[in-house]
A and B are shown apart, each in its own frame.
Chain A
């Protein structure tokens, strides 16, 4: 089945040690998103790629970066994780190109990041 896959499901990293989370999709959607969801809070958009164009949300810390080497893959890099970065990170995809092409979002299962 076409889907959005996030690896790993659980990630433990040390304070200050760079970590990379990955997302892949088989939907051929041109838009990919990264959301951060802290405990008991709504998901918060960090950034998204529209094709190759990177779009950062204004309040996303510089500590968070992203790469999209091709249509199928997108990575979230956290340069120096702090305790406050512990959260569920959600990848999502959609088909962009105006209302006619938009069908909604498909979410991955998420990666739960623990910082020790």
Chain B
């Protein structure tokens, strides 16, 4: 089955700095990648997605980079704000059933 991991379980950044959250996956057949944000006590929420035929996608203050050669993707958050504090999950997907989540990275924004 798919193995999904994130490089760091916790990440602390100063408010205003940029954050980079990394994720490695094992299934080269994954054709769709989703990042979710989970605030404390709530369900995960969709942030941004990227298809395997792309290597970069930008949203509002967030950018996802995909490197299929090394099976790695990253989520970059610009000008990190206190509201960005949450657990971030990447979820590679080959089908609706095969949505696999790693253990997530806890992002803490320091004042």
Q: Is chain B found bound to chain A in the same assembly?
A: no
